Amino acid sequence: MQKKQPFTVYKALECRPDNYQDWYRMGDALRLQGNHKEALLSYEKAIEYYPRDYWAWYKHGMTLEELGRYEEAAASYEIASTVQPNNYWSWYDRGCLCLEKLEDYEGAISCFDKALEAYPNDYWARYRQGEAYRFADNYESAIACYDRALEKRPNDYWSWYRRGDALRSWGKLEESLTNYQKALESKPQDYWAWYQQGVILQQLQRYGEAISCYQHALEVEPEDDYTYYNQACCQAALGKVNESLDSLEKAIDLYPEIYIELAHSNVIFDDLRQKSRFEALMAKSCHYQTD
């Protein structure tokens, strides 16, 4: 049986090397095969013969992004946007690149504004604009974007969760708790929403509630050292010596290099250090440091 040959347009290009469509189609085929460097050259040849083609510039940007050449990718998306100023995709993808790779949050906000001019009801552009505002420490504007996104998807986990993050960073701890709770309505077994509630409740010195949240988080991620350690701190604050030592031991078992030192230095464990069980735990821990 004859082996099927991969898609190629080289034959056509031998006859018509100035054929824009064939260079563009070859770029698409090579991208699908994962041959990004060759695809990039093909799009560049297509652009050479048709410099004002939106899709060649857009795919050129996508390919550069896949190659990790982010600044060049953003420049290609920008050129595509000048060719078709009302096309959503080049604005949106450039915005994502500015947000996630270039840390150009003002640039991202501007790009998502343009994307939203094309698709005013788009959830993702609004949500990611909120993310850009949050990373820029403009929490009020971030929350306004999340609110607009939630008008489209009232039960969306990510908008509620990130809204909680923004409120927490803004110092509005009580309000942030309600947002993490809303996120859990969509994903009841989400580790992070339980953990973040625990951290805030611990900060508010509501230790019993914090422990409850940490226990929920550990049901989802039973090997998480941070949660065991924070739970140990809350239990120590409530005078629950044995429970605190249980949690502290779990944290040390998982990551001894960090938690042995913290067990000795954190004042929350001052009362525990007088207990024989604490001394036994530290003696046991010496084996971790000598192995």
Which segment of 11-15, 82-86, 215-219, 262-266 scores lowest on mean pLDDT?
11-15
pTM exceeds 0.95 for this model: no
Phi, psi of 2 (to 5 degrees): -75, 130
| CA 171 remoteness from chain centre | 21
pLDDT digits (tens, 9 = 90+) for 117-138: 999 999 999 999 999 999 999 9
Distance of CA 227 to the CA centre of its chain: 20
Which among 85, 93, 86, 105 has a CA at the least distance from the CA of 60?
93
Q: How confident is the model at residue 16 (pLDDT cuts 50, 70, 90)?
A: low
User: Would you say residue 15 has pLDDT above 60?
Assistant: no
Residue 1, pLDDT score: 44
| List of residues 6+ apart from 192 with CB closer than 8 A | 161
Which residue is associated with the tokens 């960090």?
Answer: 258
Q: For 183-211, how does the pLDDT look when each residue is reduced to its tens digit (9 = 90+)? A: 999 999 999 999 999 999 999 999 999 99
The whole-number average pLDDT for the span 94-115 is 98
Q: How many CB atoms lie within 10 A of CB 26?
A: 24
Q: What is the mean pLDDT of residues 5-13?
A: 49
Cα(164)–Cα(173) distance, rounded to whole angstroms? 9
Tell me the domains of the chain and their CATH numbers.
1-84 (1.25.40.10)
Confidence of residue 288 (pLDDT cuts 50, 70, 90): low
d(CA 148, CA 116): 12
Tell me the CB-side half-sphere exposure of residue 145, using CA atoms within 13 A. 25
The overall average pLDDT reported for the chain is 92
**Over residues 89-114, mean pLDDT:** 98
Given a contact cutoff of 8 angstroms between Cβ atoms, the answer to whether 114 and 129 are in contact is no
Contact 108, 128 (CB under 8 A): yes
Instruction: Tell me the residue length of the chain.
Output: 291
DSSP readout, the chain? -PPPPPP--HHHHHH-TT-HHHHHHHHHHHHHTT-HHHHHHHHHHHHHH-TT-HHHHHHHHHHHHHTT-HHHHHHHHHHHHHHSTT-HHHHHHHHHHIIIII--HHHHHHHHHHHHHH-TT-HHHHHHHHHHHHHTT-HHHHHHHHHHHHHH-TT-HHHHHHHHHHHHHTT-HHHHHHHHHHHHHH-TT-HHHHHHHHHHHHHTT-HHHHHHHHHHHHHH-TT-HHHHHHHHHHHHHTT-HHHHHHHHHHHHHH-HHHHHHHHHH-GGGTTGGGSHHHHHHHHHHHHHHH-
Q: What is the mean pLDDT of residues 15-34?
A: 85
**Which pLDDT score is estimated for 150?**
98
